[in-house]
Chain A
Amino acid sequence: MQKPPLVIQHLSKNYGSLKAVSEVSLEIKKGEIYGLLGPNGAGKTSIISCIVGLEKPSSGQIHLFGQEITHNHDRQSKLKIGFVPQEIINHGFFTVDEILGFYSGYFGILNNREKIDSLLKDLQLYEHKDKKVKQLSGGMKRRLLIAKALVHDPSLVILDEPTAGVDVELRNSLWELVKKLKDKGVAILLTTHYLEEAEKLCDRVTVLDRGQVKATGETQGLIQKLTQRWVKIQYKGCVENIEHSYLVSKQKGLLELRIPSSFPIGQLFSELQIKKEDILDLVISEGSLEDVFKFVLHDKGENQNV
């Protein structure tokens, strides 16, 4: 059986007395998009820095395709990782095309024309390939970072806030590229502050706060477990006598209820004892990843696993 692309066990990273990451464990499967979410300073970048070898973990273990790389990132393990850093890198003197050529070389590929051209086209950078980095827009610079991370066909791609400061259209095209990578079996670890997009993209997520895991599991599972549904019923009958423990408001024929996601709708209607012919309109709003985020960061301190 193939080993999982990435397994992190009890990873901690301290900077002096500051505990940036504390006992974080996670596992990423082949062809999975995994979201590492959390507010600024949650420890996301520290975890990523330990995975790619920029920082040494204080304790814990990191395994890449079954091989332990905690303190030893050998060449073969580095070949498997593609890393998109959070900060833009300004390569000063060089053009986009030259940078991708150099970067291919740093991974042992001398003639990588075909792959570079394909990435330039996929990332809509082809017509800008002869421009220097300083001549590119913010979005183009981000795309260049992604192209650099993919020149050597890595099996695990780590994207640290790849869409920060990028417009909606471009964000969507970047996520399309991420989906294509997933379809090819590439495992993807990403951090983002766009929770709506993370909800659509990520198979599983871990929510971190101050270096600690606050919630982890399948994205939809977490939403179902930790959020509530809003049920709005426009009712033509008299609402004055309707009572229910989940009822939030009732006025002018509009009933608003907040129910657990797992609570059956049919049971709700029978408990409310309302006639279905008196229902004018019905709106059910599902909880979101943002609700999960708010819940685990502000409402509940303990670890939530699904």
Chain B
Amino acid sequence: MSSLTWIPFWVLFKREVHRFLKVIFQTVVTPLITASLYLLIFGLSLNIEVENVSYLAFLIPGLMMMGCLNNSFQNVSSSIVSSKFSGELEDYKVSVLSHQQIIWAMSFGGVIRGLVVAGVTFLVGQFFYYHSFGSFLSIHSPLLLFFFLVVGGLSFAKMGLSVAILAKNFDHMSAFGIFVITPLIYLGGVFYSLDKLPVFWQSISKANPLLYFINGVRYGVLGVSDVDISSAVVVSLLSLLFFHLAGLFCFKKGSFVRW
């Protein structure tokens, strides 16, 4: 592998990780506080069981994935939008960085932030779980948990990249967040089990790829899922492929010129 293949990728990836670590309060601590509030309000106050596990345990993987997806998306989209605003995106265009390198490096940078937030959410969840039940939550399948977090995070990072590169102003970004990302996440089964929904809404929900990501993570932590886990693996990989191709298309059609 030549130095022009891995060095530009590695350095851009490092830059992306550096970028969110420089503002760690905004990028990691804020989502941590949000997750803590959800766990405090819903996890501790609702003393019910879902799919034979406590609601607190049910909530923890959902919040982990919600944090991972949201932060993967935001890391990449905010990096591209701010680079467009500052003119830094033009730097990438005139350097030897290829579209593939930019897409993968920025996506992995976003996933690292997503994994950090998911990890911290898990630790906070463990704190609440221990406080409630006197023991820690054990992880059912670490490998599947990691797979769904990484593949889901990468997919959302690439989605963020595609939207940001096509966006013409800040309004476009916030509109996409409000009208697409938030409904997809909240209707993806973070807070409820699919079998609690009417049959019609169950079939609608099955078209939401987030349902598979979230249930994949829930299976990884708890060993329970609303969807068949092999279907979740396939849907996750197909989503990753789709958003990668979407990213490549948007990079070809979108603009690198500063706002």
Contact = CB atoms under 8 A, between A and B. Distances in A.
A85 B86 CA distance: 12
Contacts of A102: 11-12, 14-15
B131 interface: no
A148 B92 CA distance: 12
B257 A54 contact: yes
B175 interface: no
Interface in A96-134: 98, 101-110
B95 A107 contact: yes
Contact of B93 (A54, A91, A101, A103): A54
Interface string B1-37: 0111001101110110011001100000000000000
Interface stretch (A76-84, A163-171, A240-248): A76-84
Contact of A89 (B12, B18, B23, B91): B91
B7 A109 contact: yes
A161 B78 CA distance: 30
A92 interface: yes
Contact of A94 (B4, B8, B10, B18): B18
B98 A110 contact: no
Q: Is the interface of B mostly helix, strand, loop or mixed?
A: helix
B93 A108 contact: no
B57 to A, nearest CB: 38
A194 to B, nearest CB: 23
Contacts of A85: 87, 90
**Most chain B Cβ neighbours within 10 Å, of A54, A94, A102, A105:** A105
Nearest to B9: A105
Contacts of A148: 91
B86 to A, nearest CB: 5
A75 interface: yes
16 contacts: A52-B94, A78-B96, A83-B94, A89-B87, A92-B82, A93-B18, A93-B19, A94-B15, A105-B12, A105-B14, A106-B91, A108-B2, A108-B8, A108-B96, A110-B10, A148-B91
